[in-house]
Amino acid sequence: MLAVDGISVRFGGITALDGVAFTVEPGTAVGLIGPNGAGKTTLFNCLTRRCTPDAGTVRFEDEDLLALPPHSVAGRGIARTFQNLGLFPQLTVRENVMVGAHSRGRTRHLAAALGLPHVRREERELRDQADDLLRRLGLADVADHPASGLPFGTLKRVELARALAVRPRLLLLDEPVNGLSHGEVDQFADLVRSVRQEFDLTLVVVEHHMGFVMGLCDKVVCLDFGRKIAEGTPDEIQRDPAVIEAYLGVAA
Amino acid sequence: MSTITATLGTGRARRLRATLTTLLAAGVALGAPFYFAPFQVFQLTMVLLYAVALAGLNLLVGFGGQISLGHGAFFAAGAYTAAVMLDRYETGHLATLPVAAVGCFLLGLGFGVPALRLRGLYLALVTLAFAVFLPPLLKRLEPVTGGSMGLTVDKLQAPAWSGLAEDQWTYFVVLAVTAVALLLARNLLRSRVGRALLAMRDNESAAEVMGVRLSLHKTLAFAWSALFAGVSGCVYTWVIGFVSPDSFSFVLSITLLAGLVVGGLASLYGPLLGAAFVMYVPSVAQDISDAAPGVVFGLLIIAVMFVAPTGLAGLAGRLRGVAASRLTRTTPPAADDRTPDSEPSASPAPADPAPVDAEPVGAQPRTEKD
C-alpha cells in the first residue's frame, strides 16, 4: 500500500533521514520506533508532504506521493495526528472534526455565500457524519466546546476523530499516547484497535511507549540517527541487539 | 441521556431566541427612519454602509487571521468606480454596484498574492502602502477622477411612488444592500469555506494536512474581503454624492481596522457594533472636548479594549463568564455538573473567540509518564 524507498532528508549539515526504506501492507499496523531525534517525525512529514526529501521515493497505491501538492494528500485517503496535538483551539470540537472532512466537501465560495440548497445539504451531511464520529469516540458531550481547555486525553481523542473524518485508508499516528496516564494509554490502545477494525485502516504509528507499540503493531521499524537499524515483528525487535544498544546503550 | 435532551432543549430555545431577535431587529431597522430626524437617519445609513466594509474586513482579519491596513483603498476604489460611472457614463446607481463589486474582487485577488508570502506586520505594511499611495494617484488621474476637487454626482432620489423623503429612501436602499451583504458574509463564514479560514488561522499546517488548499483560501479571502469593502464604498457614493481623494486617506483604513477590533473580531454581528462605534464615537468625542476630539476618541478605544478585550460583541459573553465564575467560586461542588452548554462559550456564533482563554493547546499537561 505504502512503499518508502531510500528517502534522505538533510537540514543544513544534519542528516535527519538517510536512505530509509520500508513497506506497509494493506490492513497492517507498522510501528516506527527509535530514540529522540531519530527522524521519525521527519519521516511522517515526508509522508504528508510537509517536507520534501532530498532523495528517494514514496509511493502510495502506485501513485508518486511526492508529486502531489500537500493539500491533496488528505483527498487520497491519508490522515495523520500530530505529536503535540494539531487541533484548532478556537473551533469547537465538532468544527474540528468537520474540518477533517474538508477534502470530501465540494462547496465553493460563491455557492457558500449564496447558501444554495446543495451547500446546505452537504453541510448537514458533514455535520451528521461528524456527530456520528463524536458519538463513536465518546465525545458527544463536548461537541460544542472549544477545543482549548479540554483535558489532554480528550483532545487526543478529538484529534483521532478529526483524522477519521478524512475517511482515511492510511492513518498516521504521531506519538498518540504521549502524555497520557497509564489507564488512558490502555483505553486509547483499545480505541485504536477497535476503530482500526471498524474503519478498515492501515496504520503507521510513531510511539515511545513500547507496550503500546508491541501490543498494536504487526511489524516494527526501528530508526536511529536517520537510518533504519532493524525491521521485524515485535518479538524480533525486542530481541534485536542493535535496537537494545540504541535504546539502552552498551555497557562500557 | 438527560444531557442529550437538555442539549436539544437549549438548541430549540436558542433557535427561538435567535428568530425573535432577528424579527425585533428587523422591526427596529424598518421603523427607525420614520422615528428619527433626517440627520439621524443619515447617520444610521452610514453605520449600515460601514458595517458592510467591516464585515469584509472581518472575513480577512477575524476569520482569516491576516491583516490589512489597506481596506480604505478598496473602499475608495468602490466609491470612485461608482462616481466615475455616474459622472461620465450616467449609468444609473444600481448598475455601479456589480461593477464596483467585481472590480474590487479582482483588485483584492491581486493583493491576495503578496498575502501568500507575507504575514503579520509585513502584510500590514504592504497593504498600508496601497492605502497611502492611492489618494495621490487619484489626484494625478485628473481627467478621470476630477483630481483633488473630486467628483460630485447625483445622490439617490426617492421615486415618487414610494412617498418617502430622500433620506428615508436612501436608508432603505442601503439597508437592503447591507442586509444582503451581511447575509452573504454569514453564509460564507458558516460554511466549509469559513471553517477552512478559521482552521488556517488557528493552525496552518494542520489545516493543510486536512486538505485545505492554503493559497486558494488565502487569496480568495482577500478578494471577497475587498469585494465587501468595494460595495461599501460604492454605496457611500450613492449616499454622499461626492468623492475626493482626501475622503479616503490611510486614516480611513486604520479607522476601519480599529472599528472591527472594537466591535469584535470573528463575531458575526461585531461589524455592526464596530460600524456604530466608528460613526458615533467621533461625534461624541467632539461633544466632550472641542479642542481635542482625537484624544477622546483614542481614550475611548483604550477604555473599550480594557473593558472588553474581545470587542463589544464579546462583552455579553464575558460578563456571563464572569458571573458564572463568581457562582462556581461560591459553590465549588457545582463546578462538576456544568455541561458544556451551560458555559458562555456555547454561543451560536461559530467561532466566537471571546471566552476562549489564551491557553496553548499544544502545551503538555503534567501527567505522570509511563
Concatenating the DSSP letter of every residue in A157-220 gives HHHHHHHHHT--SEEEEESTTTT--HHHHHHHHHHHHHHHHHTT-EEEEE-S-HHHHHHH-SEE
Answer yes or no: is A214 within a domain. Answer: yes
Amino acid at A95: E
Radius of gyration of chain A from its Cα atoms, rounded to whole angstroms: 19
Q: Which of residues 102-141 of A touch B (CB under 8 A)?
A: 102-103, 105, 107-109, 112-115, 119, 122-123, 126, 140-141
Strand order across the A14-24 sheet = A14-24, A2-11, A55-60, A63-64
Tell me which chain A residue has its CA closest to the CA of residue B196. A99
A167 in Cβ contact with A195 (< 8 Å): no
Count of the separate structural domains present in chain B? 1
Which pLDDT band holds residue B366 (cuts at 50, 70, 90)? very low
**Same-domain status, A95 and A73:** no
Q: Which residues contact B322 (CB under 8 A, 6 or more apart)?
A: none
Q: Which of residues 310-349 of B touch A (CB under 8 A)?
A: 339-341, 343, 345-346
Answer yes or no: is B290 within a domain. Answer: no
**Same-domain status, A29 and A133:** no
The strand pairing partners of A59, in sequence order, are A3, A64
A115 to A118, A178, B186, B286: CA distances (angstroms): 8, 42, 9, 43
**pLDDT tens, residue by residue, A193-220:** 999 999 999 999 999 888 899 999 999 9
d(Cα B91, Cα B85) in Å, to the nearest integer?
6
**pLDDT tens, residue by residue, B293-316:** 778 888 888 888 888 878 888 787
Answer yes or no: is A162 within a domain. Answer: no
Task: Show the domain range for A109.
Answer: 89-154
Amino acid at A71: H
Q: What are phi and psi of B99, to 5 degrees?
A: -65, -45
Cβ-based contacts of B207 with chain A (< 8 Å): 88, 99, 102
Residue B82: name the closest of B255, B230, B282, B276 by CA.
B230
**Same-domain status, A68 and A177:** yes
Q: What is the ipTM of this complex?
A: 0.90
**Same-domain status, A58 and A173:** yes
User: How much of chain B is helix, strand and coil, in % rounded to 5?
Assistant: 75, 0, 25
B361: three-class secondary structure by DSSP: coil
Say yes or no for a CB contact (<8 Å) between A91 and B193.
no
Answer yes or no: is B151 within a domain. Answer: yes
**Span of A130-144, A229-243, B339-353 with lowest mean pLDDT:** B339-353
* Average pLDDT of span A132-148: 92
Does A16 have pLDDT greater than 80? yes
d(Cα B128, Cα B70) in Å, to the nearest integer?
5
To the nearest whole Å, the CA of A74 is away from the closest chain B CA by 5
d(Cα A245, Cα A5) in Å, to the nearest integer?
25
Answer yes or no: is A174 within a domain. Answer: yes
Count of the separate structural domains present in chain A? 2
**Same-domain status, A148 and A97:** yes
* Average pLDDT of span B319-336: 63
**pLDDT tens, residue by residue, B1-22:** 455 555 555 678 888 888 888 8
Last residue of a domain, one of A132, A154, A176: A154
Say yes or no for a CB contact (<8 Å) between A103 and B210.
yes
Q: What angle do CA B183, B185, B188 make, to 5 degrees?
A: 110
Last residue of a domain, one of A154, A176, A194: A154
d(Cα A166, Cα A6) in Å, to the nearest integer?
28
Does A238 have pLDDT greater than 90? no
| Residue ranges of E strands in chain B | 151-152, 242-243
What's the whole-model pTM score? Answer: 0.83
Amino acid at A209: H
Cβ-based contacts of B185 with chain A (< 8 Å): 113
Task: Show the domain range for B55.
Answer: 37-249
> From the list B211, B339, B365, which residue is nearest A102 (CB)?
B211
Say yes or no for a CB contact (<8 Å) between A89 and B213.
no
**Same-domain status, A221 and A105:** no
Residue pairs between chains A and B whose CB atoms are closer than 8 Å: 160
**Same-domain status, A71 and A178:** yes
DSSP state of A50: S
Answer yes or no: is B327 within a domain. Answer: no
Residue A208: name the closest of A247, A169, A245 by CA.
A247
Q: Which of A52, A82, A87, A148 to mutate to test the interface with B (most CBs of B within 10 A)?
A: A148
Does B139 have pLDDT greater than 70? yes
* Average pLDDT of span A229-252: 83
**Same-domain status, A54 and A96:** no
Answer yes or no: is B61 within a domain. Answer: yes
Answer yes or no: is B171 within a domain. Answer: yes
**pLDDT tens, residue by residue, B234-273:** 999 999 988 989 888 888 888 889 889 888 888 888 899 9
d(Cα A115, Cα B2) in Å, to the nearest integer?
34
Answer yes or no: is A69 within a domain. Answer: yes
Q: What angle do CA B96, B102, B105 make, to 5 degrees?
A: 135
Q: What's the CATH number where A197 sits?
A: 3.40.50.300
d(Cα B47, Cα B278) in Å, to the nearest integer?
8
Answer yes or no: is B303 within a domain. Answer: no
**Same-domain status, A67 and A19:** yes
Tell me which chain A residue has its CA closest to the CA of residue B348. A144
Residue B268: name the closest of B181, B163, B327 by CA.
B181
Answer yes or no: is B112 within a domain. Answer: yes
**Same-domain status, A62 and A14:** yes
Answer yes or no: is A84 within a domain. Answer: no
**Same-domain status, A41 and A97:** no
Answer yes or no: is B87 within a domain. Answer: yes
**Same-domain status, A136 and A37:** no
